[in-house]
Amino acid sequence: MSQVLILPLESTSPGLEGRLGALCALPCDGNLDTENFLIKLNRLPERILPHPGYLFAQGLNPNLFLKAPCEASFFKDCVELLNSFDTIITYSSRPLQTLEITALRLCQDLTFPRPNQTIIEVSTLLHAIEIFNGIKLNLKNNLINTAKSLGYKEELSKAKQKEKLLALNFCLNKAKEISPSLFAFLNRPLSYRFNLLTKALNEKNGLVCVDRLGKLTLIIPLKITGLYVECIVFGENIVYRDEFNFTQGYLIAPLSVLTKERQDAIEIDPTRAMEMLHFWMEKLEQLDDYRVCRPSQKFFSKLNDQDLEYFKLLIKEECGKHPKAPLGLSLFFKRHLLMLLGDNFRKDLSEEELLNYIDLCNKNAETKLNNYSKAINDLVPLVQDGNDEDLKLIEALTYYPSNLSAQ
């Protein structure tokens, strides 16, 4: 079974304009060979400024984006890379959700992940060990600090992505050493997770869920739509409604994993919890609802009937190869298509379209420049004295907008 360690690095905040800035990967079949390390970079269009806080936390220099391939090429390369492996191993899989909105932005179909693929989120695995094995691991809030707390001795910095992947591999092996059974449970294809959820949905049974932050809840699925599961949740002695993407790195397991010993250790009574869940299933409208409108829902809510029909045509075509647009497209979708072509296939624009695109780019960047500058100023106090790496990154972030110009 082919395996790859990955670090998906975001360049902007999540949402309709959410973007990955880079995807770092290191195949890990057999012996690790750092010569196989690769990084895919995503060029940001001039109208989009990165989020300084995200780049600073990840040690990602924005100047790397300037000569990178366009988002259409980046998306295609990332999906092909990820789909070439059976098992994806990462510390946090949440940034991979950005590929969903990227596909919509490009009017493309997202073919990742495949049902027979496995996604192992190491942060979830480590938290599950603490919960189910009763072992205190002193976990931290990021990969670097967690690796150090687990005994990793090699030098690490946030800007060294290859070294962070080696630290990720260390954390994975440490978890496998401590609890081979938990690793084996998580090392199952997504289809297993889907089948568990479907069975629980049909039988109105409960499941145990652990997330990347170590929060344990009991859930009963109410509806499965694509990759998303709407559910009723028992957690911290309250019941509420929520929704999650089941392909993210959750541990989802039958209630039988909560042995009497584990129930006592984590102070949970699954019988009482299930009684509460079944009681409130009849009064769903009275529950607190933590479901949020997904970016994809926001996107489709803006489309009219003609937009939707044309979108269905576009996802069957190669990106950028647009059949003749019908009459009646909304202003929102017309602009969306202009941005798609301008960001990725600028040479295909007419002179009038290009001038319109450049004008929109300049206006958009100007409106965001103040917030961008403020975000950089907020980072300055975080720079440690004598840390040249942080100082150089702050400098690169400061001058990045001046390096941009819509051509």
Confidence of residue 323 (pLDDT cuts 50, 70, 90): confident
Main-chain dihedrals φ then ψ at residue 175, nearest 5 degrees: -65, -40
One-letter identity of residue 267: E
What pLDDT digit, counting tens, does each position of 384-394 carry? 777 889 999 99
pLDDT of residue 372: 94
Q: Where are the alpha helices (DSSP H) in 248-350?
A: 260-266, 270-281, 295-301, 305-314, 331-344
Asked whether residue 365 is domain-assigned, the answer is no
Which CATH number do you get for residue 194? Answer: 3.30.1520
pTM for the model stands at 0.94
Backbone angles phi, psi at 109, to 5 degrees: -85, 140
| Residue 119: other Cβ atoms inside 10 A | 23
Does residue 250 sit within a domain? yes
Cis bond upstream, residue 115 (ω within 30): no
Q: Alpha carbon of 367 to those of 21, 47, 233, 361, 375: distances in Å?
A: 21, 10, 40, 10, 14
C-alpha closest to that of 283 among 240, 234, 340: 240
Rounded CA separation 278/281 (Å): 5
Give the Cα separation of 237 and 310 in Å (integer): 47
Q: Is residue 89 a part of any domain in this protein? A: no
CB 193, CB 246: distance < 8 Å:
yes
> Is 19 inside a domain boundary?
no
CA atoms within 13 A on the CB side of 271: 2
CA-CA distance, 177 to 312, in Å (whole number)? 48
Query: Residue 243: in which H helix or E strand, if any?
Result: strand 238-245
Structural domain includes residue 88: no
Q: How far apart are CA 117 and CA 187, in angstroms?
A: 10
- Please compute the mean of the pLDDT values over residues 20-35 and round it to a whole number: 85
Token reading at 331:
């202003």
Label the pairing between strands 216-225 and 228-235: antiparallel
Q: Which strand (E) or helix (H) includes residue 83?
A: helix 71-83
**Residue 231 domain flag:** yes
Q: What angle do CA 271, 277, 278 make, to 5 degrees?
A: 90
Is residue 346 within a helix (H) or strand (E), and if so which, with residue range? Answer: none
User: Nearest Cα to 375, choosing from 397, 396, 390, 395?
Assistant: 397
Residue 39 domain-assigned (yes or no)? no
Residue 65, in any domain of the structure: no
Q: What is the pLDDT of residues 50-60, one digit of tens each?
A: 999 999 999 99
pLDDT tens for each residue of 207-250: 999 999 999 999 999 999 999 999 999 999 999 999 999 998 89
CA 203, distance to chain mean position in Å, is: 30
Residue range(s) defining the domain that contains residue 223: 189-295
CA 85 → CA 4, 80, 127, 292, distances in Å?
A: 7, 9, 25, 31
* CB atoms inside a 10 Å sphere around CB 328: 12
Residue 406 — pLDDT band, cuts 50, 70, 90?
very low
Structural contact between residues 295 and 14, judged by C-beta atoms closer than 8 angstroms: yes
pLDDT (tens digit, 9 = 90+) per residue, 363-379?
A: 887 788 899 999 999 99
3-state SS class at 277: helix
pLDDT at 286 over 90: yes
The amino acid at 196: L
Provide the pLDDT confidence category of residue 99 given band limits of 50, 70 and 90. Answer: very high
Among residues 69, 293, 321, 26, the alpha carbon closest in space to that of 172 is found at 26
How many distinct structural domains can be found in the chain?
A: 1
